[in-house]
Amino acid sequence: MMDVVGLGALNWDRLYFVERPAGPGEEVPVESISEGPGGSAANTIVGLARLGLETGFVGRVGTDAEGRLILDDLEREGVDTSRVKRVEGRSGMIAGVVEKGGERALYAYPGVNRALALEEDDVDYIMRSRFLHMSSFVGEASFEAQKGLLDRIRGVRLSLAPGSLYVSRGLGQIGPLIERAEVLFLNREETEALTGRGYRAGAGLLHEMGAKIVAVTLGARGCYVLAGGKGVKIRAHPTTVVDTTGAGDAFAAGFLYGLLGGRKPEEAARLGSMAASMCIARPGAREGLPRAGDLE
């Protein structure tokens, strides 16, 4: 049995580092470019593989050069790719602008991620895991496929990182996913946008809806974890911020690593915070992801 299987968009990330974002009609020099494989759930799964867990992924990549690179990278990291299919067309793409200080704006092109339709073999594959870690897709068909999966994977614990794409759908649409989640990962802005409340009260509402553990990242202020009706705030690990891309994904990897290792939620959150601090000290979503020895 695998520890964690991921389900989400598989993308090729291309990040442009600038001093500041350009205004309308303005030209700003690009200081450097970073590119490589990405996708929220995929970043977390790679993080878990580096931490020594047995992982796999369900997803789609294109027949373009980027699709081959995405697939090769997952395999090189030790992620099982037997349920990652190559589909005719272009792979998903993220174009991002990262300004000095690490803040960024991202633009998502879904590509063949739109082609995801879960097959019976995909469901059987997920059923052979302890956790399913799920993140967002662009497009309606993939979102409906995720919701339709919930009743078919009873016994598998669900970890959910909805991101801003799914948060923008509102509680009415993503409520079934939240109700089923054992662990729900959000940042402060997402929590407040989704619930219309402050992050503590918002986490309480999501906990009442059914999410057993709600983990809210707070940037430089650390994170807030609510489990069993008890909320705990954890400090951030000090670091030099280069690029915040993938920080939440790294946090989820450290958190799930701790949880699967028998740690309490607040202890898992400390490992998540440490993993995130290492991630944002390097450019891109994966370059700074830690190994098990780095956290322990």
Would you state the torsion angle of the CA atoms of residues 13, 127, 53, 225, taken in this order, to the nearest 10 degrees?
80
Neighbours of 119 (CB within 10 A): 12
Hey, what amino acid is at 71? L
Which one of the listed residues 3, 73, 122, 249 is annotated catalytic? 249
User: Helix crossing, 188-195 with 171-180: angle to 10°?
Assistant: 120
Helices (H) and strands (E) in the chain, counts: 11, 13
Report the alpha-carbon distance of residue 224 to residue 216 in Å, rounded.
5
| Locus of tokens 């490589």 | 36
249 part of the active site: yes
Q: Give the count of alpha carbons within 13 A of 31, CB side only.
A: 10
Which residues are annotated as catalytic? 249
